[in-house]
């Protein structure tokens, strides 16, 4: 049996999950795949294109009102150097959790197209295709969020499920007469939700996130097939991949913590096999907030996700800058903490995202948590989940210090992985207190993550960017240079890394190598000038920064960095 064949992988995964289920259900599904495969062309020049991109993450409405506004900003993003757009939740939703509470997996929110609620799905498809065509014409891939673990309580499946115990959709969710099952599953939204069970009539339904987000029951094969069909629907529309939200929690078993269970991986294998069968090269990105050793399980075999976020690296970059020490980064990227991954797999790295600066104990210890929290939680209202995170924009965390922001960006863009820029951070967007208060009123939840979202006033941004001396213009100019320089070298996304064991713990020095490319990267994390014992003949680095050497030593200014092409 050819295990690399998507057909065989679908069959193996399905029978592992549902040994007693009839094969007819699976074969009917595969027949659907055959029809769809004839409609879709996979035209990726490289199946692992995700290694060479810089990702830009955005909410369509908050970024620039709607998809028309996003199209208007495609050239702005291309100029910045962006080559992949990650659309934060766009699917139909009551928006109690910023769109991660999905009401309809086959429909985009009408307001994102300025369409009336009664607009047809065909109108929606035409407008979405117009956006995809524009992005693709400018060399940008497009991926978007899809919550795999749960739906909104407003989803038609749940609305049917709650009607009676005999309803055929009852088994699409997890219902119980009491709260005694899954007692070892940790409470993810500590301080915001008192339990993983919510009472409904004389029963309870299970949820790992908010009480308005009931978990799906993947023990029902119909759920697996329905959720896979939802992804395939969007493949047919032309998207290039999916950020699979909340992957570790998909499968539940009593007596376990209900995270990263073997059959969770089997479910993901089924998703991947279906995508490979229909359109090879479609990215499946795991959102797994876990320790690297657990996350690697989703990307190491080549038949689950292509990539996953390196959550632990993010807080350790902040710690390294505050501590003026390379130790947090070197330790986190050591094989003791971050296992090696296959060539075809990839880490995605980030400084900030739509969520809090997370300090969960799954990837920081108590000492790290206390240190990072004390150095970066500058306002009491930024506290998230009772010390488990900090809700603040990048510029706020670094107190609008251009040099520190630039240093942090250089770290993210030069260390291994595919980098993600969060919308507005490229020009130093601040926390949005007005939006935060607006969302509290709308959702009834004091979720401080709303501080890191908010709308962009482009008239104001354009005015600030036109002033070269403004904080915003300085941040934008420096990041643009970094991103566009990175695009010129595949070594950043694909290359090996060679660390220089400097006795000076303030200097992070390493080489990135790929084929004929060889780059020397230097970061000074200290607030004081440092010297590096190395002979540099070039007068400038790749970022057009002057290189100053004296007596065989390179002078590295405080909190600065150099990207040097060793081939020059």
What is the per-residue pLDDT across 254-286, written as a single tens digit (0 to 9) for each? 999 999 999 999 999 999 999 999 999 999 999
Active-site residue identified among 245, 356, 383, 396: 245
Q: How many domains in the chain?
A: 2
Among the candidates 433, 468, 486, a domain finishes at 486
- Taking a C-beta distance cutoff of 8 angstroms, is the pair 267, 228 a contact? no
Question: What pLDDT sits at residue 190?
Answer: 77
Q: How far is CA 57 from the centre of its chain?
A: 8
* Residue of 288, 298, 196 lying closest to 247 (CA atoms): 288
Could you read off the pLDDT of 149-181 as tens digits, one per residue?
999 999 999 999 999 999 999 999 999 999 999
Integer Cα distance of 263 and 270 in angstroms: 10
Confidence check: pLDDT of 507 > 70: yes
Q: How far is CA 436 from the centre of its chain?
A: 22
Query: How is residue 384 annotated by DSSP?
Result: E
Q: What is the pTM of this model?
A: 0.95
Confidence check: pLDDT of 191 > 80: no
Query: Does one domain contain both 429 and 523?
Result: no
Torsions phi, psi for 17 (to 5 deg): -80, -40
Query: Does one domain contain both 450 and 555?
Result: no
- Give a yes or no: residue 54 inside a domain: yes
Among the candidates 435, 451, 486, a domain finishes at 486
Give the structural domain span for 530.
495-565
Cα 399-401-407 angle, rounded to 5 deg: 120
Could you read off the pLDDT of 406-448 as tens digits, one per residue?
999 999 999 999 999 999 999 999 999 999 999 999 888 888 9
Active site residue 287: yes
Whole-Å CA distances, 339 to 51, 118, 335, 347, 418: 18, 50, 5, 11, 17
The helix/strand/coil state of 63 is: helix
Pick the residue with more confidence: 403 or 312?
A: 403
Query: Does one domain contain both 521 and 482?
Result: no
Task: Count each helix (H run) and each strand (E run) in the chain, helices first.
Answer: 19, 23
Among the candidates 466, 486, 506, a domain finishes at 486
Query: Does one domain contain both 452 and 351?
Result: yes
Confidence check: pLDDT of 567 > 80: no
Query: Does one domain contain both 450 and 500?
Result: no
- Taking a C-beta distance cutoff of 8 angstroms, is the pair 42, 281 a contact? yes
Span between the terminal Cα atoms of the chain, in Å: 50
Query: Does one domain contain both 265 and 412?
Result: yes
Across 205-212, average pLDDT: 96
User: And the tokens for 433?
Assistant: 């207190």
What's 313's domain CATH number? Answer: 3.20.20.80
Integer Cα distance of 321 and 559 in angstroms: 9
Question: What pLDDT sits at residue 2?
Answer: 39
Burial class (CB in 10 A: 0-12, 13-18, 19+), 469: exposed
Please, what is the average pLDDT of the chain? 95
Active-site residue identified among 52, 240, 276, 287: 287
- Taking a C-beta distance cutoff of 8 angstroms, is the pair 277, 271 a contact? no
Band of pLDDT at residue 521, cut at 50, 70 and 90: very high
């Amino acid at each position: 049996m050819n295990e690399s064949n998507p057909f065989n992988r679908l069959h193996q995964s399905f029978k592992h999950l549902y040994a007693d289920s009839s094969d007819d259900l699976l074969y009917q599904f595969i027949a659907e795949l055959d029809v769809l495969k004839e409609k879709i062309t996979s035209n990726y020049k490289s199946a692992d294109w995700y290694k060479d991109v810089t990702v830009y993450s955005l909410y369509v409405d908050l970024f620039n009102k709607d998809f028309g506004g996003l199209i208007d900003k495609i050239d702005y993003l291309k100029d910045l150097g962006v080559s992949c757009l990650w659309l934060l939740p766009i699917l139909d939703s009551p928006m109690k959790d910023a769109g991660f509470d999905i009401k309809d997996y086959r429909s985009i929110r009408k307001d994102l197209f300025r369409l009336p609620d009664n607009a047809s799905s065909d109108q929606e498809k035409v407008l979405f295709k117009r956006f995809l065509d524009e992005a693709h014409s400018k060399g940008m891939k497009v991926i978007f969020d899809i919550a795999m673990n749960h739906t909104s309580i407003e989803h038609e499946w749940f609305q049917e499920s709650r009607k009676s115990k005999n309803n055929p959709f009852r088994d699409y969710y997890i219902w119980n007469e009491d709260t005694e099952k899954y007692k070892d599953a940790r409470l993810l939204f500590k301080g915001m939700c008192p339990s993983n069970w919510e009472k409904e009539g004389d029963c309870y339904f299970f949820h790992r996130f908010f009480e308005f987000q009931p978990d799906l029951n993947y023990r029902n094969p119909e759920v697996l097939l329905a959720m896979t069909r939802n992804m395939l629907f969007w493949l047919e529309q032309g998207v290039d991949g999916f950020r699979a939200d909340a992957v570790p929690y998909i499968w539940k078993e009593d007596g376990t913590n209900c995270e990263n269970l073997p059959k969770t991986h089997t479910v993901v294998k089924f998703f991947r096999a279906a995508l490979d069968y229909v359109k090879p090269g479609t990215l499946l990105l795991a959102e797994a907030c876990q320790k690297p050793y657990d996350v690697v399980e989703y990307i190491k075999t080549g038949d689950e996700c292509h990539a996953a976020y390196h959550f632990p690296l993010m807080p350790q970059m902040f710690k390294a800058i505050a501590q003026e020490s390379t130790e947090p980064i070197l330790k986190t990227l050591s094989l003791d903490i971050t296992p090696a991954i296959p060539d075809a797999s990839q880490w995605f790295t980030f400084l900030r995202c739509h969520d809090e600066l997370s300090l969960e104990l799954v990837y920081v210890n108590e000492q790290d948590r206390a240190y990072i929290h004390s150095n970066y939680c500058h306002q009491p209202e930024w506290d998230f989940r009772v010390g488990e995170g900090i809700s603040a924009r990048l510029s706020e965390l670094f107190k609008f210090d251009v040099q520190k922001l630039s240093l942090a960006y250089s770290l993210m863009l030069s260390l291994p992985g595919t980098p993600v820029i969060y919308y507005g951070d490229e020009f130093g967007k601040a926390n949005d207190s007005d939006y935060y208060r607006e969302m509290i009123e709308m959702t009834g939840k004091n979720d401080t993550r709303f501080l890191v979202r908010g709308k962009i006033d482009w008239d104001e941004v354009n005015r600030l960017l036109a002033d070269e001396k403004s904080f915003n213009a300085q941040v934008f100019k420096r990041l643009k240079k970094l991103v566009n320089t990175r695009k010129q070298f595949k070594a950043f996304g694909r290359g090996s890394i060679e660390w220089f064991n400097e006795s000076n713990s303030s200097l992070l020095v390493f080489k990135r190598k790929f084929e004929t490319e060889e780059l020397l990267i230097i970061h000074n994390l200290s607030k004081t000038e440092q010297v590096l014992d190395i002979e540099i003949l070039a007068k400038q680095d790749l970022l057009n920064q002057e290189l100053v050497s004296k007596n065989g030593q390179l002078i590295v200014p405080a909190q600065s960095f150099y990207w040097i092409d060793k081939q020059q």
